[in-house]
Amino acid sequence: TPAAATFRFHHLSIDTSGDTPQACFHFSEALDPRAEAHYGDYLAVEPALTPAIRARGGDLCLAGLAYGTDYKMTLRKGLPARSGARTEQDETIEVSLGDRPSAVALSGDGFILPRVKGKGLAVETVNVSQVKIHVLRMSDRLLPSQIRSEGLGYEPQAETLRGGSLTRWQLRELLARNWLSPVWSGTMDVQPDHNRNVETAFPLPDVIKPGQIGAYLFVAEDAAHAVHESFFRAKSGDEDETVEEGGDDIATHWVIATDIAVTAVTAADGLHLFARSLASADPLSEIKISLLASGQDVLGEGTTDAGGQVVFAPGLMRGTGANAPSSIVAYGPAGDFAILDLNRAAFDLSDRGVSGRPATQAIEAFLCTERGIYRPGQTVELMALLRDRVGKAVGETPLTFVLRRPDGVEANRFSMEAQREGGFHRSVGLSSTAARGMWAVEAFVDPSGSPVGRVEFDVEDFVPQKLKVTLETTTPVLSPGEPIGATVEGAFLYGAPAAGLAGEAELRITRDPAPVPEAKDYRFGLVEEKIEDQVQQLTMANADDQGHTEIEDVLQPPAKTTAPLKAVLSAGLFDPGGRIVKDQIELPIRTLPLLIGIKPRFAEDRTPEDKDAQFDIRVFDDARQPVARQNLEWRLIREDHVFDWFARRRDSGRTFYYHVVDRPIASGNIDVAATGPAVLTQPVEWGDYRLVVDDPATQVATSVRFHAGWFKTAESAETPDKVSVTVDQASYSPGAIARIRVEPPFAGKAELTIAGDRVFETRAVTLPKEGATFNVKVSPDWGAGAYAILSLYRPLDQGRARDPVRAIGVAWLGLDPKPHTLDVAIETPDKVTPRQRIVIPLKLDGAARGEPTYVTLAAVDEGVLQLTRFHTPDPADFFFGKRRLGIDIRDDYGRLLDNSAAVGPIREGGDTTLGGPSLPVTSTRTVALFAGPVTVGPEGTAQVELDIPDFEGQLRLMAVAYNRDAVGRGEAKLIVRDPVIADLALPRFLAPDDKARLAVQLHNTDGVAGNYHLALTSAGAARITDDHPLDYALGTSERKLDNVMLEGLDEGIASITADLTGPDGYAVHREWQIAVRGAHYPMTVEDTALQAPGTAFRLDAPKLRPFVPGSVTVSLGYSAFGGIDIPSLLQSLYQYPYGCTEQMSSVAFPLLYFRDPALLGRVPQNEGLRARVQTAIDTILDRQDASGLFGLWRAGDGEASPWLNVYALD
């Protein structure tokens, strides 16, 4: 037996990519990441220093070393692994760190250099005394055709208007295109600081001559190793044997020097453009602006007014393809030039309260149904209210409705003529084979246009709930080892407490992907860490007499992890039929002292290759509040995939697996402030990467994976700095004055914009540091309301160089919806008894006398509504509630280059789940009543009649009212129950010979105490076999449980009746039905024999014994050809048990040709041959997807062969 491998030191690696070197000792096992490991005690370094020590995986890394220093490092014996193993001997390693290699880079991710107040472009050097610089210009005429959403470039190596580098080969290819003309070349002296980064500004505005408008390519090299001047003078077609494909990188940067800053606001009423001076932040007039299409045609031209604004009509923004708006170019009278890409991502203002329903369309429809879930074959009551953008009824426009299946395929389409007051109602029937899943109805004003309204509902086989269970907690945050404070309240939906019911509770610990709600798109924890959910069963007693119980347990410590965790706490009670009704809440678990969040500044975890990848980094404390943190360590790791090929034995082929090898690329330290994110920028080549940021003091770490190269990805939205904007009221009446208070982070010039889906008002203002208050008159044209948007700009000659230059604040100005709201009061008693007709009085408040007003009323089982957490339709909130900000804002302030460096001297020189027939009857009723639209009387009253069925439970009454100017809703609860309830809990179905024990419940909620007798009878396909007396003495509010046995007899439908009698002549009669269907699919047994003349045929009785008596049909046929018995074959197909597309086609196809019912023998003819074929066609069509292909079991399952599609189509 080989000896077990010992824990040992493996090798040392040195990372010199950062400002300070880092040494990492690699061990054969994983180390203990906890501070309690005290790895510093096992490390001796000469000359003495106190390094930052970090243990991660099998690596022990030391940061804080110095270049140009020789070290002697000793790892002492006994150093522990995470497993508890220890090293068996001392290890001494000598390390000699030389000087940092010389380097030249260009700082900053922006490309706009202020022409007036800018110091220049910052050049970052290490151990370099002189930099060779070339400045080349691309004409403004060529520039718009080369700009894309990710910047300026050419193929195959796309370049952006950002810092980075090009290989010599790439730069040579760019020069060979003759796009660039030389402007300046020479050297710049640098004051080196040995082994440290030095930033020196090159005064680019000073070398640009007047009239030289365009973008400038800035090239910087170490003068001691620069390429020859002839390299920049080479023409297209010249060969240079010294330049290989790839080669050394050269620092390059695209720059536009300008004083013009353009802000674009895209809205429903057009494109609003604002031009300001970067130097003074004042609006700029007389700026000529052109709107360019993707094909470089000029869509429109204009000149800014005194407020620096120009507006392009909305029609110019609706082009597609080559006519789609692409960019803005601006020219100033002083020779300034600016360009703004309209395809880049708009600002992300989601952290500023701009959420809500999407912005208003010119016409939109509120669609609603009376519930959120249906069984196949049931009817959907569809309502639609059509309104304009300010909420007034559109009564002269017809609507087209499209019913869509779960796969998006159109199942039905119907049109309705224009309705008075814009109200539409239609009962939409679902087929008995309707696909299970989420259906939708869309409304169209223009059938070829976009929908103006949409509503979704679920189609499933469901059982209504009988209980309401509420789970609440007094502990907003959970900690390991601490009690879980939670209570459970249960009640029957017919109004009585769920006394004595048993329940269960569990807690599932899982990763929390969004532990800080305000930190949208940030990632937390190590992405490579796999976290398995942990489930903890909790202790919960039975409910007491009031239906109350508590969870009595403590949170078990979860496995150690770097990721934030949350607890999904669920608890429920079992109804008398054994079905559990649950409630669920989510609670954060505090296991980490802080959180590190990383947000990539690119979409879909993909960034262009050979460019800078940028990340926002923030730190949050255990209360999830942003905090400052110093000296976080970061590492950029390339993940190389190594493929291992293996031979396959079964077919002599080959297959492969792969493993990932980590290759450190760069590392360093970063400080994070509490006021905003720190930005980490690193260049990346093609490949897969992982960025890791950790805090050595707490061992908290986060990582993200991303890919560089190949795929073009959308730029992520920029998040501007914040301005505090508040308003003095929650809502306003039209004509009122809204007071808007602004508390700015700095003094400056600002643009106050009032906007929703369009711009209503703009105002140029000046903001002092102490803030200001502005008055705005509220307009009814705002509809539901508008946003006050304050864009603040700091002049570049004020403040520090790294201070923000632009900040944005937003506040909602809502209009009071009361003038447009109808309040519906539903006057109902506390409870009624079932099996009667009742009249529901409605009283409407808010309708003008004589104004035609209508109301609908739905009464739905609360147990059905609870399944989907259905909310009562609220048209007032839909039309007059808060809207999402409907404009997009873009500018290039975020692309300003850093302006803090000192200037340097320069020198020039299988089975179906979505369909299939449902049960012929269900043992549980679905109660959903609907009436209307009903005309409201002149006094604002209406009366609605409802037929209450045999039902014990709670109905939610939901009213929707509307007239020309207002809409509204009402809601009430109605308990429906007998004074003494007799209820049975039945299974969904039975098979012949099945035996089911039915729970019998008697509950005296309002009846007289005394003796009650229950008589149960059965008829049809099942029978009750118990004969024990069902006599019960019931006290006030007492509930008793019993059970009886039900046995399935034959296939068919069974009826069960219950007659409860008691004191004072009390009598209640109730009925249920249940389907009894075969335990197996139909079978066909066929015998073929030659019958001689004069002989008789007799059926062999033993062949019938395996079958259920009465379920067998025998047919006898004669044919001149053996095996061709048409009646028998048709009957076999008719009863074929399975229902894939092939089988359904095979069943229906022959019936098109053999239409004689006699040929089918004794098969039930209740639906007729034609109806049977039509049913098959409808079901097959339900399986056709949007491309026209049929699925084998359901639409889009991809299992149907090409020949089957042809067969089904025939």
Q: Could you tell me the CA-to-CA distances from 1157 to 956, 1132, 1166, 1168 in Å, in that order?
A: 48, 14, 11, 8
1053 burial level (CB within 10 Å; 0-12, 13-18, 19+): middle
Structure tokens at 536: 């903890």
State the pTM of this model: 0.74
Give the residue-averaged pLDDT of 287-301.
Answer: 91
Q: Is the pLDDT of residue 910 over 50?
A: no
Alpha helices in 650-695 (DSSP H): none
Element at 207 (helix H, strand E): helix 204-207
Task: Enter the CATH code of domain 602-643+671-715.
Answer: 2.60.40
Domain coordinates in residue numbering, the chain? 9-97, 103-258, 261-344, 363-459, 488-578, 602-643+671-715, 732-816, 819-883+919-976, 980-1076, 1126-1209
Taking all residues of the chain, what is their mean pLDDT, rounded to a whole number?
Answer: 84
Position 658, amino acid = Y
Q: Could you give the percent of the chain with pLDDT greater than 90?
A: 45
List, in sequence order, every residue forming a beta bridge with 644; answer none if it has no partner. 657
Least confident of 44-48, 414-418, 1140-1144: 1140-1144
In contact, 1147 and 1131? CB cutoff 8 Å: no
Q: Do domains 9-97 and 819-883+919-976 have the same CATH topology?
A: no
pLDDT at 225: 86
> Between these two residues, 885 and 1168, which has the higher pLDDT value?
885
DSSP state of 435: P
Q: Using 50, 70 and 90 to split pLDDT, how confident is the model at 1050?
A: confident
Question: Please, what sign has the CA dihedral across residues 1032, 1036, 1042, 1044?
Answer: positive
Give the residue-averaged pLDDT of 91-103.
Answer: 87
Least confident of 502-516, 882-896, 1158-1172: 1158-1172
pLDDT at 294: 86
Q: Is the pLDDT of residue 247 over 60?
A: no
Q: Using 50, 70 and 90 to split pLDDT, how confident is the model at 568?
A: very high
Q: Using 50, 70 and 90 to split pLDDT, how confident is the model at 798?
A: low
Structure tokens at 229: 């001047």
The 10s digit of each residue's pLDDT in 404-448 is 998 888 889 999 999 889 999 999 999 888 888 899 999 999 988
- HEC assignment per residue over 1025-1037: CCCCCCEEEECCC
603 burial level (CB within 10 Å; 0-12, 13-18, 19+): middle
> Between these two residues, 77 and 148, which has the higher pLDDT value?
77
Q: Is the pLDDT of residue 737 over 50?
A: yes
- Local structure of 717: helix, strand or coil: coil
In contact, 262 and 892? CB cutoff 8 Å: yes
The 10s digit of each residue's pLDDT in 972-1031 is 999 999 999 999 988 888 888 889 898 899 999 999 999 999 999 999 888 998 878 899
pLDDT at 716: 53
pLDDT at 657: 55
The 10s digit of each residue's pLDDT in 260-289 is 999 999 999 999 999 999 888 999 999 999
Q: Domain 732-816: which CATH class?
A: mainly beta
Q: Which CATH architecture has domain 819-883+919-976?
A: Single Sheet (2.20)
Element at 340 (helix H, strand E): strand 337-341
Give the residue-averaged pLDDT of 214-229.
Answer: 87
Give the residue-averaged pLDDT of 1053-1074.
Answer: 92
Give the residue-averaged pLDDT of 707-720.
Answer: 62
Task: Enter the CATH code of domain 980-1076.
Answer: 2.60.40.10
Position 335, amino acid = G
Alpha carbon of residue 228 to chain centroid: 54
In contact, 480 and 557? CB cutoff 8 Å: yes
pLDDT at 1175: 74
pLDDT at 150: 38
Structure tokens at 441: 């109805």
In contact, 696 and 687? CB cutoff 8 Å: no
Q: Is the pLDDT of residue 936 over 60?
A: yes
Pick the CATH number of 363-459 from 3.30.930.10, 3.40.50.720, 1.20.1600.10, 2.60.40.1930: 2.60.40.1930
Q: Domain 9-97: which CATH class?
A: mainly beta
The 10s digit of each residue's pLDDT in 615-629 is 999 999 988 999 999
Longest dimension (CA), the chain: 126
Measured between alpha carbons, how far is 809 from 591 in angstroms, rounded to an integer? 34
> Between these two residues, 259 and 367, which has the higher pLDDT value?
367
In contact, 834 and 948? CB cutoff 8 Å: yes
List, in sequence order, every residue forming a beta bridge with 221; answer none if it has no partner. 132
Measured between alpha carbons, how far is 467 from 490 in angstroms, rounded to an integer? 7
Element at 1145 (helix H, strand E): helix 1141-1151
- Local structure of 1065: helix, strand or coil: helix
Q: Is the pLDDT of residue 246 over 70?
A: no
Q: Using 50, 70 and 90 to split pLDDT, how confident is the model at 174?
A: confident
DSSP state of 1077: -
In CATH terms, the fold of domain 261-344 is Immunoglobulin-like (2.60.40)
Q: Is the pLDDT of residue 931 over 90?
A: yes
Q: Return the closest-CA partner of residue 440 out of 451, 425, 424.
A: 451
Q: Could you tell me the CA-to-CA distances from 976 to 12, 950, 972, 1008 in Å, in that order?
A: 78, 9, 13, 18
Measured between alpha carbons, how far is 1084 from 1131 in angstroms, rounded to an integer? 9
The 10s digit of each residue's pLDDT in 450-464 is 899 999 999 998 889
Alpha carbon of residue 522 to chain centroid: 14
The 10s digit of each residue's pLDDT in 304-356 is 999 999 999 999 998 988 899 999 999 998 788 898 888 888 888 877 888 88
List, in sequence order, every residue forming a beta bridge with 25; answer none if it has no partner. 12, 60
904 Cβ partners below 8 Å, 6+ apart?
123, 131, 188, 189, 190, 191, 200, 201, 202
- Local structure of 837: helix, strand or coil: strand
Q: Is the pLDDT of residue 157 over 50?
A: no
Please state whether the peptide bond connecting residue 47 to the residue before it is cis, i.e. omega within 30 degrees of 0: yes
Least confident of 153-162, 1081-1090, 1137-1146: 153-162
Q: Is the pLDDT of residue 658 over 60?
A: no
> Between these two residues, 1172 and 485, which has the higher pLDDT value?
485
pLDDT at 1089: 76
In contact, 914 and 1194? CB cutoff 8 Å: yes
Q: Return the closest-CA partner of residue 507 out of 571, 559, 561.
A: 571
Least confident of 258-267, 1079-1088, 1155-1164: 1155-1164
The 10s digit of each residue's pLDDT in 112-131 is 888 776 677 888 888 899 99
The number of residues making up the chain comes to: 1210
pLDDT at 914: 40
